[in-house]
Structure 1
């Protein structure tokens, strides 16, 4: 990074939001908590036009909303009427905003939100107001979608790339759904993904997909971390094949991809759904540079006596020339790597449960 840039690291927890900044990704300036004693399950750092921070906030008293800041957290704006609201005729109430995802550079005002109950929302004004996607909300499969361990929600949205109307979402439980028309209609895309806990272990839908991510080189190549299973698709999700060989476990929540280099992805394995600890109690990230054909264990600087895990959105990469990798644990420790995971250092410790981590290079 050059001297006029810094990395903003946003850390959402059970009890507030912490912001950290660094010019070298080794030494960090850390803010006081924002939204103290409120849950922060989702964060987006939108650098398409300046730098806008957006956070999903959940108050036990006031309920959930989306707030945004255009000055790195010095001030925050929350729409008085709430950024995301169901109509009275929908017979539903917003429980939690699980995902905030800016659209591509070709649609600078668009932000997508995945929420609980299972729903997708779209904003065209930078995340200030959102409209419910009726195609998914009124889908005939809705009555058969269930709740994962954390709730029934859309937790991942992959927006359209340039010159495309293709949107993908992942939900727990329900699996992967894809739209070819910008969200008007949706079809399940889960062939090859296992749901061992169901009577039919290869259903059309109903899988508990934990996270999906798009490859940087080819938009049709996707990666998925499932409830037991790590997969790759080369046809926009029409078919999925296992890439779990070489990993110490196929359970986990995290799936990250490189912002520019094809074939590079990171996962953080967990021993099993019934034993949610790092394998052997040793925390490690695993990276592939060949699309999942092989995996490299990365644990330099990470504790080798660790029994806390990393949740699906508690990990992120930045977009620096040498990509940084970041994650936080349920034990409240946050780690950063300035060399694509080859080595890590601890940024913070003793925070509340880390729910969401996001990072981006910004001009200072």
Structure 2
């Protein structure tokens, strides 16, 4: 069968899919799907090829959409995506992760749900909201959202989450208990002497490097970091970058030392690419040095941003890298960032980018 490469796009007006073959030279755009609901995160279960899209808002309510035929048809369910009576209602789904037959959903206000029947029904994993720090969590600019979901690839009990602006939390027992894992990450917006708190950091993106499941990378509101021990300790790797501020990070599919970033010019300077000149920054040595990759990207008058889930890699060789912009463009590289091509333009604001390589 012919190999397909799909780039899954969540936007403010539905989900879209860009499709190519294994060579990734020509692309066909399909969509919008999901009745143009806001879709914060579109992902695929690589084992089954099922595509899931999470989103909604206060008007539509939260829901997870599902396609088992690569986007031709969709269904959706919100059964169980609700907090207990008396708690603030769930407004939207912000993040999804599939692992070993289970599907996880991070929501706003920050909490975690799990489905074991392909997204038809959901169970609230109450341990996170029962954490003793919960009443002191403060929202980030987009609200109090659980936007990063990182299950361990082999250990069912281990999950990391990123919450704006509460920080990184970790469970080793399947969600019964949680602990903050923020040591070493700054919170520059707090008073001097209080800017390395136990929790309360504004994490923007959390990704796991391939390999042992212990190396994590984190783009934070206040810097770029790596951890070699599952988030117990974080070390700054922002030296050499044009800014300490940005949202997305994407790990290489097989090389734990390679990471892709798209820094922005700062939290109060417009939040667009530095000098309005687009570049993806790549490290090949786990953040000790960085290289700007610009070929094919706009180098003048580029006033777009790239949001926290809007960058991804594929599993091909060489790895493909993709990102979507606030101005509705999607750029692709089939050579690990050395050169870039626009594969879609004039879309709604791109909220997420993920990939699926399949023979279906």
Task: State the TM-score bracket (shorter-chain normalisation).
Answer: over 0.9
CA distance in 2, matches of 1:21, 1:163: 32
Which TM-score applies when normalising by structure 1? 0.94
C-alpha displacement at 1:249, in angstroms?
A: 0.8
C-alpha displacement at 1:288, in angstroms?
A: 0.8
C-alpha displacement at 1:218, in angstroms?
A: 2.9
Of residues 120, 136, 151, the one that matches 1:144 is 136
Please name the residue that 1:208 is paired with.
Answer: 202
Aligned 8 A contact 1:98 1:153 in 2:
yes
- Name the count of aligned residue pairs: 355
CA shift in 2, pair 1:65/1:278, >3 Å:
same
CA distance in 2, matches of 1:164, 1:75: 31
* SS state at 1:33 partner: strand
Please name the residue that 1:319 is paired with.
Answer: 315
CA distance in 1, matches of 2:256, 2:50: 28
Please name the residue that 2:112 is paired with.
Answer: 120
CA distance in 2, matches of 1:196, 1:249: 14
Runs of 4+ in 1 over 3 A off after TM superposition: none
Of residues 320, 323, 333, the one that matches 1:337 is 333
* SS state at 1:78 partner: strand
Which TM-score applies when normalising by structure 2? 0.95
Please name the residue that 1:259 is paired with.
Answer: 253
C-alpha displacement at 1:360, in angstroms?
A: 1.4
* SS state at 1:89 partner: coil
Question: Is 2:302 the counterpart of 1:310?
Answer: no
CA shift in 2, pair 1:59/1:233, >3 Å:
closer
C-alpha displacement at 1:318, in angstroms?
A: 1.1
Of residues 237, 248, 261, the one that matches 1:243 is 237
CA distance in 2, matches of 1:84, 1:327: 32
Aligned 8 A contact 1:38 1:60 in 2:
no
Unaligned runs of 5+ in 1: none
Aligned 8 A contact 2:34 2:74 in 1:
no
Please name the residue that 1:220 is paired with.
Answer: 214
Unaligned runs of 5+ in 2: none
Please name the residue that 2:157 is paired with.
Answer: 165
Aligned 8 A contact 1:277 1:309 in 2:
yes
Deviations 1:160-181 (A, max 9, x none): 3314522111100110111111
Q: Residues 56-71 of structure 1 correspond to what in structure 2 (within 5 A)?
A: 56-58=54-56, 61-71=59-69
CA distance in 2, matches of 1:225, 1:87: 29
CA distance in 1, matches of 2:59, 2:184: 43
C-alpha displacement at 1:60, in angstroms?
A: 5.9
Q: Residues 1-364 of structure 1 correspond to what in structure 2 (within 5 A)?
A: 4-23=2-21, 24-49=23-48, 51-58=49-56, 61-79=59-77, 82-103=78-99, 107=100, 109-163=101-155, 165-199=157-191, 200-275=194-269, 276-305=271-300, 306-364=302-360
